[in-house]
Amino acid sequence: MKKAGVDYYMIPTADFHNSEYAADYFKEREYFCNFNGSNGTLVVSADAAGLWTDGRYWIQAADQLKGTGVRLYRMMEPGVPTIREFLLKNMTPGSRLGFDGRCITRREGAELAQLLAEKNIRTASGRDLGDPVWRDRPALPCHDLFVITDKTAGESFEEKLAKVRGTMKQRGAGYFVCSKLDDLMWLTNLRGNDVECNPVALCYGFFSQKEQHLFLQDAEVTAAVRKYCAAKKIELHPYDSFEAFLAAYSYKGAVLYDPDSVSYSLYLAMQKGMRRAAKTLGKDRIRFIEAGSPVEIMKAVKNPVEQKNVRSIYLEDSAVVCRFLYWLCNEADIAQMTEYDAAEKLDGMRAEVKDFIELSFPTIAAYGPNAAMMHYEPTKEKSSALDRSAMLLVDSGGTYMRGTTDITRTTALGPVTDEMKKAYTLTAAGNLALLNVSWMDGCTGRNLDILAREPLWNIGSDYKCGTGHGIGYILNVHEGPQNIRWRFSKGADEVPVVPGMILSDEPGVYKDGKFGIRIETILMAQEKCRTADGQFFCFETLTYVPLDRDLLDPRYLSSREIEWVNEYHRQTLEKITPLVDRKVGAWLKKQCAPIR
């Protein structure tokens, strides 16, 4: 820091693409302060260091920071300064803040730089000062890419790119710069393996009406991928040459990019090249168009082939979970097992499915009070023993060559209290209310959320998370732009839920130190009918795994809700029986028998 002329240095969490999960290579903050939660920023000066993280991680962070001398700043707690406030207060005019501009988005970076500039504090974003210190730093992930056939993708790269170029034209953009990994994978029909549980490769993309450039680590490009790219006229460049490319390019028009995913460093590089071009062509022509990626909404609305494949893989994935639940309830030696063992068993069963690629996220198997922690994940080293006294929550999914799945079921392994039954039954009621909703074209997730939440709100219970998220196709288990949440945030954008969009439906009850319940079923929006009053949509159900009969108490259900349970079970029995053996089939029949 001294040599670099930097007075404060900031280490954020993100990778170069603002991905949800970062590879080990990017865990610099953890290397320096031990804290390994998914959100945290370390700020270091000559004589002090502080870590900022949110409420989910306060206990964990306090524990992991012990002995490091790093002070914990609890984000959002009254009286605790934000990082910006802290820097403004502690940094003196003329001093300099350093950070790696590749790990911070254009929006964050520019806002921070502007704020500090007002106090005459400079920023230096060109260097990763932690790198020379971190001697045993893991390598940048580098795994083989592979090609999704057009038949599997349902649409060729050329067809998808033509649509993107249409949007570019509409918006008056000559160029589209993309650094979002799942957008690039979906667009190119390539997949990779550089981020845990996300089948994506580290890459960048640059597109004009005529050119198409991809920036990939050479070692990832197999012969087949190279051949594919040549056939598709995709020009390949080294992954680490993108900044230089952007700075050197001869721009002839406006550049469309998403300031919430493109990094500050990439922005500075573009700016360099564009300033040069603007000198001759003018600022009106050479300008930034800041907007969400045009790929995002195309990716969210599944095409007919994607829909067909997703439908089929969800049935097989449901059958796996049915087999697992049968095993858990009938064959497993519960007394000798941990949560981790249960997760391993399920993971093994999933791996046997044809077309399996990888888990879509590390399986959550949470027993008893552990299930009250929404982000709990058992590991080989740290995992609770099961017994026959509580509920087991299992949240899991796989990525297959036919789609990406996600499902949660909560199962009673032993006697249950009336409180648990009531909580489970009302969670199921909310889950089924959303599953059965009809809505008018134009509705967004904020309109729909209350259907899943109302039975729980009615007893003063709430889950502190959204009701639903989008899911990718042979891609990330979390994707936007659609979601199902309720809170209002002024100026925020909302996207209508339209046919082809996949959404999770996962209400729950989380009782600190006692138990946790979540029921997650995956839904796909479809057309319902067009009448004189307009266009109406509904959900098609993708997940078919029975609810837990020991936990469902019809006393808490209306006649309509009971019909919903029975209809869901009727269809589950019909669709899953052909996919399981007789033993499991017999169990399924019992689980799916009508309730009254």
Which spans of this chain sit near a copy of itself (rule: CB under 8 A)? 437-440, 442-444, 446-451, 453-454, 457-458, 460-462, 464, 486-488, 490-491, 493-494, 496, 512, 528-534, 536, 558-561
Cβ at position 540, least distance to a copy of itself in Å: 16
Beta-strand pair 534-541/438-440: antiparallel
- Closest CB to a copy of itself among residues 123, 461: 461
- Closest CB to a copy of itself among residues 311, 446: 446
Cβ at position 486, least distance to a copy of itself in Å: 5
Cβ at position 531, least distance to a copy of itself in Å: 4
Cβ at position 434, least distance to a copy of itself in Å: 11
Nearest C-alpha neighbor of 342 from the set 293, 393, 296, 307? 393
Nearest C-alpha neighbor of 472 from the set 435, 506, 504, 502? 502
Cβ at position 289, least distance to a copy of itself in Å: 17
Q: Give the three-class secondary structure for 302.
A: coil
Cβ at position 455, least distance to a copy of itself in Å: 10
Burial class (CB in 10 A: 0-12, 13-18, 19+), 562: middle
Cβ at position 370, least distance to a copy of itself in Å: 18
- Closest CB to a copy of itself among residues 139, 492: 492
Give one DSSP letter per residue of 413-460, joined into a string: SS---HHHHHHHHHHHHHHHHHHT-EEETT-BHHHHHHHHHHHHHTTT
Cβ at position 441, least distance to a copy of itself in Å: 10
HSE (side-chain half, CA atoms, 13 Å) at 4 = 22
- Closest CB to a copy of itself among residues 142, 448: 448
- Closest CB to a copy of itself among residues 260, 358: 260
Residues 6+ apart with CB under 8 A from 72: 50, 51, 53, 58, 61, 62, 65
Sign of CA dihedral 165, 146, 475, 27: negative
- Closest CB to a copy of itself among residues 159, 418: 418
- Closest CB to a copy of itself among residues 384, 444: 444
CA distance 338 to 385: 4
Which amino acid makes up residue 308?
Answer: K
CA distance 505 to 498: 16
- Closest CB to a copy of itself among residues 114, 558: 558
Count the Cβ atoms, other than its own, within 10 Å of residue 307: 21
